Amino acid sequence: MVDSELGRRRKYCKRSCRQRAYEQRTLLEGTSIPADAVILSAAEAADFGDRMFALRCAAEDLGTAVAERADHDVLAELTDTLLELAKEAEKLR
């Protein structure tokens, strides 16, 4: 994307990007869906809920291990599992 020195900066890098933005705006016109909404299928929403549940369980496991004064190796393993699940959980699609 090459900007000229004069005038405003370009809002879109290509015509196709501008077209996609227009299509998204007009698709939502006349609906109660906010423009910044994220729409997930039922399967994607269920999968996200499952990942959140697994993440919560891993956090509870780690909390229990800390309360029981588990050894360092066990805590390290539980922490690694928690971090791995957190990385997976942040993906929406």
The predicted-structure confidence for 50-79, as pLDDT tens digits, reads as follows 999 999 999 999 999 999 999 999 999 999
Per-residue confidence band for 26, with pLDDT thresholds at 50, 70 and 90: confident
Choice between 58 and 35, residue whose per-residue pLDDT is larger: 58
pLDDT band at 85 (very low <50, low <70, confident <90, very high): very high
Tokens of 26: 């007009």
The residue among 2 and 92 whose pLDDT is bigger is: 92
Q: What's the sign of the alpha-carbon dihedral 69, 73, 77, 79? A: positive
Domain boundaries, the chain: 15-89
- pTM for the full predicted model: 0.61
Using the predicted structure, report yes or no on whether residue 93 has a pLDDT greater than 70: no
Q: Specify the DSSP class assigned to residue 7.
A: S
